[in-house]
Amino acid sequence: MFDVIIVGAGPTGLMLAGELRLHDVRVLVLEKDAEPTVIVRSLGLHVRSIEVMDQRGLLERFLAHGRTYPLGGHFAGIDKPRPDRLDTAHPYILGIPQPVTDRLLAERATELGAEIRRGCELVGLSQDDHGVTAELADGTRLSSRYLVGCDGGRSTVRRLLGVGFPGEPASNEWLVGEMEVTEDPATVAAVVAEVRTTHRGFGAGPVGDGVYRVVVPAAAVAEDRTVPPTIEELAQRLRVFAGTDFGVRSPRWLSRFGDATRLAERYRVGRVLMAGDAVHVHPPLGGQGLNLGVQDAFNLGWKLAAEIAGWAPEGLLDSYQAERRPVADDVLNITRVQSELMSLEPGPRAVRRLVAELMDIEEVTRRLIEKITAIGIRYDFGEGHELLGRRMRDVVLKRGRLYELMRGGRGLLLDRTGRLSVAGWADRVDHVVDAGEDLDVPAVLLRPDGHVAWAGDDQQELLGALPRWFGAATG
Ligand SMILES: Cc1cc2nc3c(=O)[nH]c(=O)nc-3n(C[C@H](O)[C@H](O)[C@H](O)COP(=O)(O)OP(=O)(O)OC[C@H]3O[C@@H](n4cnc5c(N)ncnc54)[C@H](O)[C@@H]3O)c2cc1C
């Protein structure tokens, strides 16, 4: 008997597995593929995910395998200078191929004690008041108290639950892959620059060792996108768009993706929850999908662990959908906006010129960057301090950094006054009396996902906030 079965060893499922293991939850990850994929979908992490990795002590590993790029005022291919004073200690993009992200998250989950079983496809599930039974393709049945579908855009869990996935179907498709080219690099670069003046959804750039990542619009939306294109098909599309196929050969991998945009009607049905692409899909413009899934997992992990440990207050688990679904809705919308702005039709071109002009106003660019990087998210915790519901940037304290204090995934009262107390919740909430020049509130209560649950200096107020997120006092 496991506490939680996670279906899918993509970034969302693996992040969640690690988060649950921080709280000793017995976790099994089921993955249908026998081996990790070599297909490179996501190319990197945005600020909030970088912060999340720092809050769990993982950032060093990610930095060692990635490359940082300065964060610009970049939106839908419009480039402006980065606004001053972005509210983060990590103002950069971390370029890191998705298979590496997946591997690092899998390593962390297994180090913490999660079991990952590959070659195990979920085909059926049932649930009652006590637990969930998962049925695998080979007939094996497994039981757990909860199950989380992190099984991607074509989610079997979502289908088995009968949860609606409304939105727009794919109307465009692109072929993508990594391959060798025989054409010389200067010619490839010149041709790509020329083609991109009339087709923004086209690209070919070196990824090292003479290998190029190529993206080219497909002739039509494929019936079954799980069937990869052939190198001949991709070469033919290159000839249509660029007048040359660059001598592409020896692909490392080939794939296709579309622009379907959909949001699940629900994230939870009883003891079964879903996260990541299983509940939201959108085209990769802006590079937010993986980031969104990892942050879903970061929001869900401690709440599900609290439910299993038995101290979760009423409604805590449902706050997962209440907080994360509006965030996904916003990402879908900002992606729709970017798709429109990339169009070369006269109307969208005119809007693009206007947006580019408006982005000269620093506050406009700042708002757009806060959306793309997810540092602007504010969950609705009701009226209160301006920090309430927001995640806090890392701040330097007298003895270390704030994010270093969050590695165990517990609540945290960061207290400059030295007069406050978390007695009764000390098994769930750390109390650190410290101060730093950047910390301009007397005290903050942070949830395990770094969002501010309370800010102030009044013990009675604090005693009102603690049970809302951390359940009843003990002892
Ligand atoms: C071309 C492209 C570029 C992208 N670039 C970016 C980017 O730059 N930045 C970004 O943030 N995002 C990007 N994305 C999006 C990103 O790849 C996805 O959002 C991300 O992979 C979602 O992670 P996930 O774990 O939710 O789902 P997935 O990565 O799809 O993982 C789901 C896993 O579940 C497994 N599974 C499925 N069904 C079952 C079953 N029945 N039983 C057991 N296992 C099952 C699958 O094999 C898979 O391993 C891009 C996507 C594409 C297509």
Q: HEC states along 120-186?
A: CCEEEEEECCCCEEEEECCCCEEEEEEEEECCCCCCHHHHHHCCCCCEECCCCEEEEEEEECCCCHH
Q: Could you list the mean pLDDT of each consecutive 10-residue stretch along the chain, which spans 475 residues? A: 96 98 98 97 97 98 96 92 91 97 98 98 98 98 98 98 97 96 95 91 91 95 90 97 96 96 98 98 95 98 98 98 98 96 93 97 96 97 95 94 97 97 97 88 97 97 98 92
How far away, in angstroms, is 98 Cα from ligand 1 center? 9
Tell whether ligand 1 has an atom less than 6 A from the beta carbon of residue 7: yes
Question: Nearest C-alpha to atom 14 of ligand 1 is from which residue?
Answer: 42
Tell whether ligand 1 has an atom less than 6 A from the beta carbon of residue 255: no
pLDDT score at 457: 96
pLDDT score at 199: 86
* 413: CB partners within 8 A, 6+ apart: 420, 422, 429, 430, 431, 432, 443, 444, 445, 446, 462
Tell whether ligand 1 has an atom less than 6 A from the beta carbon of residue 183: no
Which ligand 1 atom is nearest residue 33's CA? 47
- Asked if residues 10 and 294 have their Cβ atoms less than 8 Å apart, the reply is no
How far away, in angstroms, is 388 Cα from ligand 1 center? 32
Which ligand 1 atom is nearest residue 12's CA? 25
Tell whether ligand 1 has an atom less than 6 A from the beta carbon of residue 288: yes
How far away, in angstroms, is 226 Cα from ligand 1 center? 12
Tell whether ligand 1 has an atom less than 6 A from the beta carbon of residue 137: no
pLDDT score at 1: 83
Tell whether ligand 1 has an atom less than 6 A from the beta carbon of residue 83: no
Give strand ranges (E) for 315-451: 396-397, 400-401, 411-415, 429-433, 443-446
How far away, in angstroms, is 290 Cα from ligand 1 center? 7
How far away, in angstroms, is 260 Cα from ligand 1 center? 14
Tell whether ligand 1 has an atom less than 6 A from the beta carbon of residue 254: no
Tell whether ligand 1 has an atom less than 6 A from the beta carbon of residue 101: no
The end-to-end CA distance of the chain, in Å, is 30
H or E element that contains 40: none
SS3 per-residue string spanning 395-428? CEECCEECHHHHCCCCEEEEECCCCCCCCCCCCC
Tell whether ligand 1 has an atom less than 6 A from the beta carbon of residue 33: yes
How far away, in angstroms, is 40 Cα from ligand 1 center? 10
Using a cut of 0.95, tell me whether the model's pTM lies above it. Answer: yes
Distances (CA, A) of 306 to 111, 130, 371, 414: 21, 16, 29, 21
pLDDT score at 344: 87
